[in-house]
Structure 1
């Protein structure tokens, strides 16, 4: 599991940036382990992406499958204006994702990705002294 940064406890932009990076770094971890506790705690009830990941991970692990690879290196972190009048702090993370694969219980490759560069853009809100992800978009370029 990625190390949770203490700066996530801050209720300012620094805290939002730390929370966004931590959340993104958990992405390959939850697929590899099926451990969704932290992911769930940071997922706002409105976050479709968050709950799609939860559903996919639970199904995969019920089927005896697991993911490997896909490690994420965060190359740049930028704060943006949320799109479409959404409340919160939008954080654009320019990342490099390592290749990954999903394996069956028998160890055969079910699917794979080449990885590469992308922008992960979660929007976060601060509720009950913690950061929650309300939306998350993935793109190859941002303006």
Structure 2
């Protein structure tokens, strides 16, 4: 049985530096999220089986080669909303997790935060930290390239009847990232990375939102 938890976004980064799912950048370049945490849900969740459509890996290997970076036009368009998000069950939650987290890279590239904000719960510290980062990049006139994320949903747990949250364990594969300032100088680079995280999804007015993304709690 697994507990869902809330986490400070500053503890999301694994040992290898990268952006998005894999890390939050340091002081001076990008803005970190708030440090206050919401109370922990107290209920436990049991695992549900997932359909192949949401568990399929982006590669047959454990550490796939990064996909070619999308063009500016593709990034500006953003990901296509999957039809499975119309479902109000485990499959819908899994599809929503993959879709919402795939919004992050185009948001960083274009500075368009509307869909990310629409898909973020007001208590989501991870969501707020990434929103702040996108706004900082846009304000400074920086250029964000790379950072494309492919998400594999590993496990989905039973919905928490008290909070309405669907917890799930995911693996995020992120391509290398580069940020250039307005003069063309490199202010940040990262290698490709892989991170396992606990995502929490819920329905708000009938639409899926990300409630939090953090470390997977120890059993």
Task: Give TM class, smaller chain.
Answer: 0.7 to 0.9
SS in 2 for 1:39: helix
Q: How does 1:1-143 map to 2 (within 5 A)?
A: 1-80=78-157, 87-137=164-214
Task: Indicate conservation of the 8 Å contact 2:155/2:170, yes or no.
Answer: yes
SS in 2 for 1:57: helix
Richer in helix (by share)? 1
Task: Indicate conservation of the 8 Å contact 1:17/1:77, yes or no.
Answer: no
Distance 1:138 1:42 in 2: 20
Report which structure shows greater RCO (CA 8 Å, sep ≥6).
2
The structure that has the greater radius of gyration is 2
Richer in strand (by share)? 1
Question: Structure 2, unaligned stretches of length 5 or more?
Answer: 1-77
Shift of 1:78: 1.9
Shift of 1:74: 2.5
Cα offsets for 1:70-103 (capped at 9, x unmatched): 11123444214689x8650112221211110111
Q: How many residues align?
A: 141
Distance 1:138 1:27 in 2: 18
Question: Structure 1, unaligned stretches of length 5 or more?
Answer: none
Shift of 1:130: 0.3
